């Protein structure tokens, strides 16, 4: 999965609460045969540990990702993942010549939004997002903050004008949301819709009232 023909989606996980959103999106991408370049911020590691009890480590990223997805480390779907450390500014996604298809930041903190909007490139996540913006590739930011400060709203407007899709983590209860996972999948599914990736995370509205739909 590291040959010349590889064209991955970059998935960045920042430190906001919302680990399940990221896992649902990653799992759906891999289930669909897509290739993924994964970047996990330092702050995200603390959130992952708090929300799942799993310590995500650079040196054992495959095993830790498998545990988070409830897969075996030998699962062949994981062969489609390439992991880059957050401090690696020589990583592939840091360059516009790297053949990424686009990027999903899920969840996105206000700090990540600020850094991306001003081109701060504090870490690889912010740098890769800025690269996707300048290359006019899809960039979807699943914002998981509430409430939003005026400065963050202004930064989101700037990013939207530059071509990013701003997708708040707002689940649709009309999708038959009787379980938390159903609501998580709805948000992850909407994010993949914005990237133009096919998936089966949600059932879609069919115009019929009184039926469970997504």
Is the predicted pLDDT of residue 201 greater than 50, yes or no? yes
| 4 domain-assigned | no
149-199 pLDDT, tens digit per residue, is 999 999 999 999 999 999 999 998 876 667 899 999 999 999 999 999 999
In whole angstroms, what separates CA 113 from the centre of its chain?
A: 13
| 207 domain-assigned | no
Is the predicted pLDDT of residue 2 greater than 60, yes or no? no
Is the predicted pLDDT of residue 3 greater than 70, yes or no? no
Q: What is the CATH number of the domain that holds 85?
A: 3.40.50.1950
Phi, psi of 104 (to 5 degrees): -125, 125
Structurally, how many domains does the chain consist of? Answer: 1
Is the predicted pLDDT of residue 211 greater than 80, yes or no? no
Query: What six digits make up the tokens of 46?
Result: 């603390």
Mean pLDDT, to the nearest integer, of 88-117?
Answer: 98
What's the pLDDT score for residue 207? 74
Which residues contact residue 21 at a Cβ distance below 8 angstroms, ignoring those fewer than 6 apart?
106, 107, 142, 144, 169, 184, 187, 188, 191
What's the pLDDT score for residue 46? 97
| 105 domain-assigned | yes
Binding-site residue numbers for dimethylallyl phosphate are: 174, 190
- Tell me the C-alpha distance between 80 and 70, whole Å: 17
Binding-site residue numbers are: 15-17, 41, 144, 174, 190
- DSSP tag of 78: G
Binding-site residue numbers for FMN are: 15-17, 41, 144
Helix orientation angle between 19-31 and 42-52, rounded to the nearest 10 degrees: 100
Range with the lowest mean pLDDT among 41-55, 97-111, 121-135, 193-207? 193-207
| 202 domain-assigned | no
**Residues spanned by the domain of 149:** 9-195
pLDDT band at 213 (very low <50, low <70, confident <90, very high): very low
């Amino acid at each position: 999965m590291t040959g010349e023909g590889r064209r991955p989606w970059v998935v960045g996980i920042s430190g906001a609460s919302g680990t399940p959103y990221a896992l649902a999106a990653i799992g759906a991408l891999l289930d669909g045969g897509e290739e993924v370049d994964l970047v996990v911020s330092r702050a995200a590691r603390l959130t992952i540990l708090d929300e799942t009890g799993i310590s995500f480590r650079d040196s054992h990223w495959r095993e830790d990702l498998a545990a988070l997805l409830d897969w075996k480390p030998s699962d062949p779907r994981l062969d489609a993942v390439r992991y880059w450390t957050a401090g690696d500014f020589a990583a592939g996604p840091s360059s516009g010549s790297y053949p990424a298809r686009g990027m999903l930041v899920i969840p996105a903190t206000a700090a990540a939004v600020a850094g991306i909007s001003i081109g701060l490139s504090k870490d690889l996540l912010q740098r890769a997002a800025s690269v996707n913006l300048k290359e006019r590739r899809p960039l979807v930011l699943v914002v998981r903050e509430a409430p939003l400060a005026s400065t963050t709203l202004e930064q989101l407007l700037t990013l939207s004008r530059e071509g990013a899709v701003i997708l708040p983590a707002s689940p649709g209860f009309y999708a038959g949301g009787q379980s938390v996972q159903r609501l998580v999948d709805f948000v992850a599914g909407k994010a993949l819709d914005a990237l133009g990736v096919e998936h089966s995370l949600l059932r879609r509205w069919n115009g019929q009232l009184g039926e469970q739909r997504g």
